[in-house]
């Protein structure tokens, strides 16, 4: 009888200890859920602010139209872009993909916007062929000095509307910008090192003529992640085919949705709604920019 009571007391003690552990786990789980909810709210707020920093689109400067489609992998994006009208003769733009994605990469995109705007506004309007390469070199030093462990791939262009010339520079852009004229699709020439990775990097000064009916396509590497194909070359070929078949950004977006298991247009139809709610996270940030001209009305 005494042994039975001891076993019963021991069992009750174990049961009470288990209940206490379960209670502590429940409290910890509730605390974690509260912290995750706060983190999600912070990410959503950050994503909203980041989208507000993007330029209005579509936008036309001196007959050239700029438009884009940007969808973050979840809330915040490491992809970013911008364009500005400098004068009746010049407009400038950039297309960037910061390494990684999420909050740390999104912070760098804010820095990019500030530095690009400051650089263009302080430009004296001379030697447009030097501006893109000089800006990438300055940005490279800026990222090196911040010591935040982030680098970016970039394309920077200045359009001379009087001569129909694109002056540009690039840093490890992948996929390379593609120029479409009629049914012909051509990869822009040049190569450069990533920005923010190597000290004292030198970036190329490049130029090409733009026909009156040109279309310049720029895509982030997240687009390649959404395309079928086992190799990079196969995906680049698939991307080229989609671009040949598309005359507008909407057409390209629709065709991408047809061939990709990741892109659901019903859920990411608009950039300002692509905040991660109600959809599966993309493999990477997805951004497409279209520059076309010269015959658009401002």
For residue 75, pLDDT beyond 80: yes
Q: Hey, where are the domains in the chain?
A: 1-53, 56-292
Query: Which pLDDT value is given to residue 22?
Result: 78
Query: Which pLDDT value is given to residue 14?
Result: 77
For residue 163, pLDDT beyond 80: yes
Residue 220: left (phi > 0), alpha (psi -120 to 50), or beta?
beta
Q: What is the mean pLDDT of the chain?
A: 86
Q: What's the angle, vertex CA 241, arms to CA 237 and CA 244, rounded to 5?
A: 135
Mean pLDDT throughout 117-137? 95
Query: Which pLDDT value is given to residue 271?
Result: 44
pLDDT category at 274 given cuts 50, 70, 90 is very low
**Which pairs from 236-243 meet CB under 8 Å and 24+ separation?**
236/175, 239/175, 240/178, 240/185, 243/178, 243/180, 243/185, 243/217
Q: Classify domain 56-292 at the CATH superfamily level.
A: PPM-type phosphatase domain (3.60.40.10)
pTM of the model: 0.86
Query: Helices H, strands E: what count in the chain?
Result: 6, 11
* Spatial distance between the Cα atoms of 172 and 175, rounded to a whole number of angstroms: 9
For residue 98, pLDDT beyond 60: yes
For residue 89, pLDDT beyond 70: yes
* Spatial distance between the Cα atoms of 30 and 33, rounded to a whole number of angstroms: 5
Mean pLDDT throughout 69-86? 91
Q: Are 178 and 217 in contact (CB under 8 A)?
A: yes
């Amino acid at each position: 009888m005494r042994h039975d009571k001891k076993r019963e007391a021991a069992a009750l003690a174990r049961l009470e200890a288990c209940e206490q552990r379960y209670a502590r786990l429940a409290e910890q789980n509730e605390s974690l859920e509260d912290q995750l909810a706060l983190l999600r709210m912070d990410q959503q707020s950050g994503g909203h602010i980041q989208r507000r920093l993007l330029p209005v689109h579509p936008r036309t400067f001196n007959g050239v139209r700029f438009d884009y489609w940007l969808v973050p992998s979840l809330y915040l994006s490491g992809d970013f872009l911008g364009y500005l009208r400098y004068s009746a003769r010049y407009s400038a733009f950039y297309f960037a993909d910061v390494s990684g994605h999420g909050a740390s990469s999104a912070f760098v995109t804010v820095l990019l916007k500030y530095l690009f705007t400051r650089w263009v506004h302080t430009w004296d309007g001379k030697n447009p062929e030097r501006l893109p390469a000089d800006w990438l070199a300055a940005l490279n030093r800026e990222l090196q000095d911040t010591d935040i462990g982030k680098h970016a791939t970039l394309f920077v262009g200045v359009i001379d509307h009087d001569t129909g010339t694109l002056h540009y520079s690039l840093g490890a852009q992948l996929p390379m910008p593609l120029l479409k004229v009629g049914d012909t699709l051509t990869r822009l020439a040049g190569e450069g090192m990533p920005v923010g990775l190597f000290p004292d990097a030198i970036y190329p000064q490049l130029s090409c003529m733009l026909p009156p009916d040109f279309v310049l396509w720029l895509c982030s590497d997240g687009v390649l992640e959404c395309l079928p194909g086992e190799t990079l070359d196969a995906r680049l070929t698939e991307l080229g085919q989609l671009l040949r078949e598309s005359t507008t950004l909407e057409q390209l977006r629709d065709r991408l949705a047809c061939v990709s298991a990741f892109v659901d247009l019903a859920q990411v139809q608009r950039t300002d709604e692509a905040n991660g709610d109600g959809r599966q996270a993309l493999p990477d940030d997805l951004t497409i920019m279209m520059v076309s001209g010269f015959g658009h009305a401002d």
